[in-house]
Amino acid sequence: MARKAAIFEGTYQKKRKTESTTIKSFAPRFLETKRHLKTLKKYRQQLDQHIIPHFGTRPIEAITGQDCLAFYNKRLDTDAAISTVNGEVACLKSLFSEAIRAGTVSLNPVKGIKFLNPNNVRDRILSNEETARLFAAAGEMSDFVRPLFHMLFQTGMRLGEALALEWTDVEFEHERIVIRRSKSGEGRRIPLRSTLANELIRWKPAARDSRWIFPARFDNGDAMQSVRKGWLRLCKSAHVANLRPHDLRHNFTSQLQAAGVSDSIIMSITGHKTHVMLHRYSHANDQHKKNAIESLTQFESSFDNNVVALKSPRQKKR
């Protein structure tokens, strides 16, 4: 009756059918909340390539935990690594969390999914011979590779943190480097060794008056984004295989632990937030293990009189 009356009075307007919210339509709003460029790029790729094509035009409020589990199992059945699939489902979980804050849904259907353990912890640290070859190879290079290698090797910082450094972040007079942009969102200070300071001073004229320590190749107004080709060139020249820039962070942490530095000091230098993550990044190579065992008290058996003699690690053999 109200519709008829509105038609008679000429005030009737046909109601448009409300379009349901889908993952595709909500994705732009979700991505706007991500401030870390690396995370933003990764999430956009995961959404475009796998998540959106799978769920299609289904309303986001109609997606259940079983639907999300089916997506997880389907991706696990492909050649994708477990850690890759876990990352995609983590993206989906984050999207639903944002949808809850926006009032689009009331529950997060991904919360009940238990991720498989990828068991992908790398224990790649350098031997003394590899270290010597890398230093020798870096010393023969005149581009950014030389100071970048020294920066990563002598500070244990993340590659992204190194590339984001400005010259004002290096306080030569206070012998420290200030990290203002970190993965954890918190800054920290790293001691500046004299050898690294000398390398940076040597490199500065080649930075072309840029505010960035590692400026982009063709525009010194921007920071460098990719070091892949230069890094591969360094490893090839040093005859070192299977080494990533991030492995130097593992190597640095392991060296500090082998030197007996306390966990609290290591965490303040490297920026690890928990002891669990610290020990994930610290490993002992064969030489460290051998030195640890050799430092123990040794026992010598005498087969003549069946007497066991104690021998100090520092005592010379007769």
pTM of the model: 0.59
Q: Extract the tokens encoding 63.
A: 């997606």
The yes-or-no verdict on residue 302 having pLDDT over 50 is no
pLDDT score at 314: 52
Mind listing the pLDDT tens digit for each residue in 260-300? 888 888 888 888 766 666 665 555 555 555 565 455 555 55
Q: Give me the chain's average pLDDT, please.
A: 84
- Region 36-60: mean pLDDT is 92
Mind listing the pLDDT tens digit for each residue in 211-265? 999 999 888 889 998 899 999 999 999 999 989 998 998 888 888 888 888 888 8
The yes-or-no verdict on residue 303 having pLDDT over 50 is no
Beta partners for residue 298, in sequence order? 311
* Domains delineated in the chain: 23-101 (1.10.150), 128-289 (1.10.443.10)
